[in-house]
Chain A
Amino acid sequence: MRSGRESGKPAEDGRSSPVALTVNGVRHDLTLDNRATLLDALRERLALIGSKKGCDHGQCGSCTVLLDGRRVKSCLILAVTLDGRAVVTVEGLAGPEDLSPLQAAFVARDAFQCGYCTPGQLCSARGMLDEVARDWPSAVTEDLTAPVELTDAEVRERMSGNLCRCAAYPNIVAAIRDAAAAR
């Protein structure tokens, strides 16, 4: 399958760069326009359309992926900066057979409607649970020096970088609690 022109002509000398990017465990050697965001590189060059473009300005979270294990907004990261880095997208969350616990919980709890924000919610939730496991505090953590307890309020605060216009929020929180409990 071809999506976009694989041999994107450099816009001008020095204005494109070779980038070795590992996505979902697969290494890709690409020549990218320096202007290309990680999101556009994923979608238009690698045909990994799971990561969504909702606002393109870091304001909605639909493009959230994991970069070296941390959740980030791929629309604001220039792909040229990622030489040698590893990205996991929603396509990389599931095992070969089964959905991940988070994905299964999202389906079971109906934690989405239109589904457009869902890949970002899932990647964000995965990263967020890792942050909690590392005891990172949030704005609603009362005691900055105590271990973090994953309450509904903590999940809501930490997931607020991912807008859902269908407003599946209560179901998203429930799904994440389910998946966290199963961890």
Chain B
Amino acid sequence: MSAPPVGAVGREHPRLEGRDKVTGAARYAVEYPVDDVTYGWAVPAMATRGRITRIDAAPALAVPGVLAVLHHGNAPRLTPGVDQTLFLLQEPTVHYRGEFVAVVVADTIEAAREGARLVRIDYDAEPHSTVLTEHHPDLYRPDTVNPGYPPDTADGDFDAGYAAAEVRVDATYRTPAYHNNPMEPHATTAHWRDGRLLAHDSTQGSTPVQATLAQLFGLPPEAVRVIAEHVGGGFGSKGAPKAPVVLAALAARHVDRPVRLALTRQQLFGPIGYRTPTIQRVRLGADADGRIEAVCHDAISQTSTVHEFAEQTAVYTRSMYAGRHRRTTHRLVRLDVPTPFWMRAPGECPGAYALESALDELATACGVDPVELRVRNDVTVDPDSGQPFSSRNLVACLREGARRFGWADRDPTPGARHDGRWLIGTGVAGSSYPARARAAAAAATAAPDGTFEVRINATDIGTGARTALWQVAADALAVPADRVTIRVGDSDLPAAGVAGGSMGTASWSWAVIRACEQLRQRLRDGVVPAEGLTVEVSTADEIRGQRPLARYAYGAHFAQVRVDADTGEVRLDRMLGMFAAGRVVNPTTARSQLIGGMTMGLSMALHEEGLLDERYGDWVNHDLATYHVSVCADVERIEAYWLPEEDPELNPAGVKGIGEIGIVGSAAAVANAVHHATGVRVRDLPIRLDKLLEHLPAR
């Protein structure tokens, strides 16, 4: 293939939909004009576990404007599918507090809200268990952990290796429930017309939503169309069909009018998924120079009684650092809680917090600089699979990041630096995330006027996917980008997978490039007919034929914090991330994504925590005033950079994905910096002021 005359890939470019987003023209799920629209309001269960014995809809129906109250006694029937959490309003069983058990439909939002308050539901409550502990009697080993890894692995003899090690670290780290909280709540406009269902849904992938709705409602897929043109963030929580789209479709069918249904912010704390709390024991055995001989990572997390989700918490440890003797385990317990689900880098994110914290503890124990310790434990083949890496630039990230951050000559002594009342410290952590791809289809059309349209049901949840695919298409077509238009976010387009797992750009650009290449080939054969010339391709076969290699993106985080010696308040002075993630299609949007991931890691380290009340079985701080996410003032300086990296073993665009690598390890860098500042090792996130205050010297 000859070099394209115009190189769009690799150039900074503002998002294509930027103008729409800054003028308010961009439409999200419940913002499409619909005639005769109604409003749905989901009603959550107020029992933690049990059965509904009676529903009295009369007070709700008496509210002027209320049209219907749907519940298990009257809702349209669904066909049960794989995900039981979507089998909504079908049975009187209550699996957890907050589970949606009814929907009120009304002419106005105001009437719907009031109606929802007035639905009277009686429950036959049963005893419940809602708290994750390492001693829970119902812990079990899942068959696989997300998205299909074995639950346990072992190489060598960990116990013997650990016992023989000169230096040992044995620490248990805890992370709380974290809630995705995209700014746009999960929401759907559903509309039945002539037996067909049209849904505008806030989702990370409308192809799977289309398939799921078709299955649940017993329809052929082509009778369902799902549109997700603009999505107000998801961070994993919109990575699979969720309750609103099913509830809205049920309600719309019931009242035979279009229904807009948006969850409230409070309703996002549970039913749409969350990051499971974890309890992680990490043991490291090393020689006196910090070379790891033995590593064991035992992870415990929770799932629900409805559907199993097993966070792959210890998987990060399998491939990251050296050690002849290795063991990882995952245990799970089914609690009477909502089903946890993906949240930005499920598994890798909490797992890296634990492992990268333990490495910091090992560095302290060995008296080795924590950057140097990581360099010493670099590997050349994946210790888990034995496969070579397609590329691995962890050490380069550590070295270059340290240089840019000004790490050299760091005094390792904890609690030794003051600036007035502030204690100052710096920390580092490594990062990695798998570089995967999944099959997708794409179509490309040449018009007689020399313009092109490329179509793929990719979803741009704010990642910049639309813009990146447009750049990729222009280069693959070897035309100036202004002659290319890209269409995404509609299940009528060629099918593609969700925006998730940092696979979006890799998977979608693969199909786009192949479609564009084939179109170019066809164009060499003749002129474009009046109706245009279209090719459509799928990458399924090609992806199945990929060489077996360990493919990962890498990174290194550097953080400087200050801790108020009087109050224990922690503030981030600065943070720098250095990444190696293959080619970067659009530096503008890539930088934003990396900074966003790093910030979410900061938020995880210092601010966020779902506070469960065991008696009720829900998180009591279920709003954005009491569940704190980082605000603008928390982010004084965060920078992200990347190394040029060419890896021919990835995909045609040479990309590794950047949606998640930014958060992996980021919380550990902050936590390690807090230790360096104070000498206090907080092993349960978030590092709130009270956890430090009791350990800081009296003033």
Contacts and interface: CB of A to CB of B under 8 A. Distances in A.
Direct interface between A and B, CB < 8 A: yes
A162 B632 contact: yes
B184 interface: yes
A43 interface: yes
Interface of A: 1-5, 8-9, 11-12, 33, 35-36, 40, 43-44, 47-57, 59-60, 62, 89-91, 93-94, 99, 103, 106-108, 110, 112-119, 122, 152-153, 155-157, 159-173
B14 to A, nearest CB: 5
A114 B17 contact: no
A103 B592 contact: no
Contacts of A9: 64-65, 107
Contacts of A110: 14-15, 18, 588-589, 591-592
B462 A113 contact: yes
B233 A50 contact: no
Interface in B606-659: 623-625, 629-633, 635-638
Contacts of B233: 113-114, 116, 165-166
Contacts of B107: 5, 8-9
Given A114-B183, A116-B232, A156-B632, 11 more contacts: A54-B184, A54-B185, A89-B24, A93-B23, A103-B22, A107-B19, A110-B592, A113-B596, A118-B21, A119-B22, A165-B183
A178 to B, nearest CB: 13
Interface stretch (B33-41, B354-362, B475-483): B33-41
A12 B64 contact: yes
B623 A163 contact: no
**Residue from B23, B36, B63 whose CB has the most chain A CB atoms within 10 Å:** B23
11 contacts: A3-B37, A5-B36, A11-B110, A33-B108, A52-B183, A89-B24, A90-B24, A94-B23, A103-B22, A106-B22, A170-B638
A35 B462 contact: no
Interface string B203-239: 0000000000000000000000000001111010000
B31 interface: yes
Given A54-B183, A166-B233, A167-B595, A91 B24 contact: yes
Given A1-B33, A3-B37, A156-B632, A62 B23 contact: no
A114 B235 CA distance: 11
A61 to B, nearest CB: 9
B632 A169 contact: yes
Contact of B232 (A2, A11, A52, A57): A52
B3 interface: no
B599 interface: yes
A171 B25 CA distance: 21
B632 A166 contact: no
Q: Which size class do B's interface residues fall under?
A: 35 or more
In the A-B complex, the 4 residue pairs with the closest CB atoms: A50-B24, A114-B462, A116-B232, A115-B21
B275 to A, nearest CB: 14
B185 A53 contact: yes
Contacts of A160: 631-633
Contacts of A118: 21-22
Contact of B633 (A49, A107, A157): A157
A99 B632 contact: no
B22 A122 contact: yes
Interface string B253-272: 00000000010110000000
Contacts of B630: 167, 169
A8 B22 contact: no
Contacts, number: 205
A91 B183 contact: no
B596 A11 contact: no
B110 A116 contact: no
A74 to B, nearest CB: 13
B462 A90 contact: no
A61 B116 CA distance: 25
Contacts of A91: 23-25
Nearest to B26: A115
A57 B632 contact: no
Contacts of B624: 54-55, 57, 59-60, 163
B128 interface: no
B27 interface: yes
Interface string B581-605: 0000000110111011011100100
A115 B185 contact: no
Contacts of A171: 592, 595
Contacts of A165: 181-183, 233, 235, 600, 629
Contacts of A156: 632-633, 635-636
Contacts of B36: 5
A112 B596 CA distance: 10
B265 A115 contact: no
A169 B183 contact: no
A36 B593 contact: no
B437 to A, nearest CB: 22
A116 B28 contact: yes
Contacts of A43: 31
Contacts of B33: 1-3, 47
Interface in B489-529: none
A115 B462 contact: yes
B109 interface: yes
Contacts of B182: 114, 116, 165
Contact of A113 (B65, B108, B463): B463
Contacts of B635: 156, 167, 169-170
Given A49-B27, A56-B264, A60-B183, A168 B22 contact: no
Given A8-B108, A110-B15, A171-B592, A57 B21 contact: no
A173 B110 CA distance: 36
A56 B265 contact: yes
Interface in B151-184: 181-184
B600 A55 contact: no
Nearest to A8: B108
A4 B267 CA distance: 24
Contacts of B235: 165
B356 to A, nearest CB: 20
A65 B425 CA distance: 40
B277 interface: no
Interface in B71-117: 107-111, 114
